[in-house]
Amino acid sequence: MSVWEYKVISSGKGGFATPALLEKFLGDLGRDEWEIIHYQTAPDNPLAFSGLARRTTQRDWTLQDAAAAAAKAEAEKLRAEFAAKFEAATRPATTAEEKAPASFIEEKTAPDDGLRKLVDTSRDDDPEAEDEPKDEWDKLDASEEDLPTFFDALKPHFRRNQRGPGMSVGVDYLAKKWDQSEDDLKGALLECGFAIPQDEDDAPVYVEYDGDLFWVNINRRGELWINTKEKPRPVFRAVKGTRIEPPAEEPKPEVQTSAEPSAEKPHFEPKARREEQRREEKPAAVTAPAEPGAPLPAGTELLAKIEPLMRRNRRGPGGSGSTSFLSRALKCAEADLLAGFAALGLILPANPNDKSIFVEIAGDVWWLNQDSRGGVWINGREKKDGEVIAAPGTEAVAPAPETASAPTPETPASTPAPVIEAAPASPLAALRLILKETKTGGFAGKVDRLAEEIGQPVNQLVATLTSAGLKVPEKAREKPVFVEHAGEIFWFNKNTKDELWLNAKASKYADTKEGEGGADAEKPRRSRSKKKGD
């Protein structure tokens, strides 16, 4: 029964450089009596493999094994004798004089002492003497020719290039694999014609060997890489053709074009020309005044004209309509429409949450209200039996207003500002709807924005408000003139940027007029600004 020992064999990750080295490695295994029982090669490199080998360490003696060993030894002996006789028969006979020195030298040297044989120098002066056969020592100089070339030695170590075509291998990897320094490999690269780049952006310098292209590049970390790819095969050959000039065209007759554009193919006009025409026509369209609609009727005729345009009121009897819709339908400004309503006594309450102001006109009841989005609506219904509607203007007239409790920078606290009561049909009612609330609880709006929203020129709007009693200040801190309307006061002011603003806030009045109630009557209080340290 045999006892086996096993050994894992491998060529390494890169494999052998040449098939000759692989054959030598396998031959050494056979001489050492190793038997390969598993052998697997790499899919991309036939010279790289891994496997398993075994050999016996103890064998039981048998008669069959002894007979086989004796027969093998006898066969080797007969083969050696036959080879010696065949070599002696084919080799020419030599003289005794020639054999004497050789036999003398052979007798003086040990046959298997491992030392180099002595060289016969007795015939060095004879020019016709034959060269002695070279021994193993002399063959060492020629062993370098059996080594593979640098390019062939690289091929087993190449791996697929992950950043481009072909294959590549690192110089540092080769230095570890071949047990050499990187400087030696750089010197070998220069001897083989490679150019070592100094920067990663340098253009590659190609070297051709055996139909393949080789080059060296350097990455951002300063590592050198050797790359290779197949040389591209030429697919075509560039030749210069003869250019043929087109024939000269005959001049076309001039066609007189009219000033008007052609209606047959208007889309043939260049786009740049169409845009240029639009730019030329746009200023004219902007400067051209809009065609005004028919003038609004006054009084009950205005109500009769808007009544067909009103829809059924969803919250009660009668009908209703928004001023924005009615102004578009009548082709007029919303402010003009509100001014026409104000002439009839139809005004909004000072507070949107207050009760609407009802007005009886021609046996019907009319009133204005404001929705949650700030839109103004006019409503109308038939008067109920026995219903009494107070005529507009019969309520108590508001007394003279008190000075504002919180002075503004435009109004000094020491001097009260004059207050003028606006007419019932004042345009302030319409402009009040588009003023925006400020942080101080009031309302304000830039005059330029107000004029743009109601569709009027700025100068015309300023003139309308001036006729209502407002005064345009000449400077930023000039004392303003207040105008009272529907329980609020309105005034103009200018800021440091010379922008004109319209302001509004709730008006505060004393409970009694000045002079009424005797000595204990409450007088209007003047507010004063606080000074530092108070």
Local confidence band at 218 (pLDDT 50, 70, 90 cut-offs): very high
Both tokens assigned to 260 = 């008007």
Query: In the listed set 382, 407, 435, which residue is the last one of a domain according to the structure?
Result: 382
Report the run of H or E that residue 431 belongs to, with start and end: helix 428-432
Supply angle C-alpha 57, 63, 67, rounded to 5.
Answer: 90
**Number of residues assigned to the chain:** 534
In a domain, 354, yes or no: yes
CB 69: neighbour CB atoms within 10 A? 10
In a domain, 432, yes or no: yes
372 & 441 share domain: no
pLDDT tens column, 113-171: 555 566 667 776 666 666 666 555 555 555 566 788 899 889 889 999 887 888 999 99
376 & 423 share domain: no
In a domain, 508, yes or no: yes
| Domain limits for position 436 | 419-520
508 & 445 share domain: yes
The yes-or-no verdict on residue 411 having pLDDT over 90 is: no
The total number of structural domains in the chain stands at 4
What whole-number percentage of the chain has pLDDT above 70?
69
Local confidence band at 444 (pLDDT 50, 70, 90 cut-offs): very high
| Cα–Cα distance measured from residue 33 to residue 57, given in angstroms and rounded to the nearest whole number | 10
In a domain, 171, yes or no: yes
351 & 427 share domain: no
| Cα–Cα distance measured from residue 333 to residue 327, given in angstroms and rounded to the nearest whole number | 6
Local confidence band at 524 (pLDDT 50, 70, 90 cut-offs): very low
| Cα–Cα distance measured from residue 169 to residue 150, given in angstroms and rounded to the nearest whole number | 13
427 & 339 share domain: no
434 & 496 share domain: yes
Strand extents, DSSP E, 401-467: 419-421, 436-437, 443-446
Query: In the listed set 230, 246, 270, which residue is the last one of a domain according to the structure?
Result: 230
The yes-or-no verdict on residue 226 having pLDDT over 60 is: yes
429 & 516 share domain: yes
| Cα–Cα distance measured from residue 347 to residue 307, given in angstroms and rounded to the nearest whole number | 18
436 & 358 share domain: no
Neighbouring residues of 175: CB distance < 8 A, sequence distance ≥ 6 = 181, 182, 184, 185
Q: Tell which residue, 42, 62, 38, 61, has the closest CA to residue 51.
A: 38
Instruction: Using DSSP bridges, classify how beta strands 488-494 and 436-437 pair: parallel, antiparallel or unpaired.
Output: unpaired
pLDDT tens column, 197-206: 988 888 889 9
In a domain, 100, yes or no: no
Both tokens assigned to 101 = 């020195």
Query: In the listed set 332, 359, 382, which residue is the last one of a domain according to the structure?
Result: 382
In a domain, 137, yes or no: no
In a domain, 457, yes or no: yes
489 & 431 share domain: yes
451 & 496 share domain: yes
| Cα–Cα distance measured from residue 499 to residue 262, given in angstroms and rounded to the nearest whole number | 50
- Half-sphere exposure of residue 408: CA atoms within 13 angstroms, side-chain side: 23
Q: Tell which residue, 312, 319, 389, 398, has the closest CA to residue 356.
A: 389
155 & 205 share domain: yes
In a domain, 93, yes or no: no
